[in-house]
Amino acid sequence: MALETIIVWIVVGLVAGLLASMLVGGVGGMLADIVVGIAGAFIGGWIFRAVGASQPRGLLGSILVAFIGAVVLLVILHAVRRTGWRRRTV
C-alpha cells in the first residue's frame, strides 16, 4: 500500500470522524476521530451497498460515505453507553 493511500485514509477518517463527532458527540480525541472515521468508511460503504445506492466518487464522496458511517457508529456507541451494556468486572 502506498504512503499516499495511507495518508488519504487518515485525512478522510479525520475529517469524517471530526464532522460526525461535532454532530453526534465524540468519543474523545483526534485519534478516536480518525478511528471512528475510518471505521465509518467501512460501515458507510456497507450501508450504500445494502440499499443499492451508488457510492459518490472522489475525495468528497469518500468523506460523505465515511461521515454517514461514522454517524451511525457514534449513535450506536452512545446508545450502548447509555444503556450500560458493557462488560462489568466483579
> 21 pLDDT exceeds 60?
yes
- Show me where the domains of the chain are located: 9-25+37-83
Task: Indicate the residue type of 67.
Answer: F
pLDDT at 10: 87
The C-alpha cell at 17 is: 470522524
- How many other CB atoms are found less than 10 A from the CB of residue 67? 22
Do residues 78 and 24 make contact, with C-beta atoms less than 8 angstroms apart?
Answer: yes
pLDDT at 79: 87
Tens-digit pLDDT profile for residues 26-68: 777 888 888 999 999 999 999 999 999 888 889 999 999 999 9
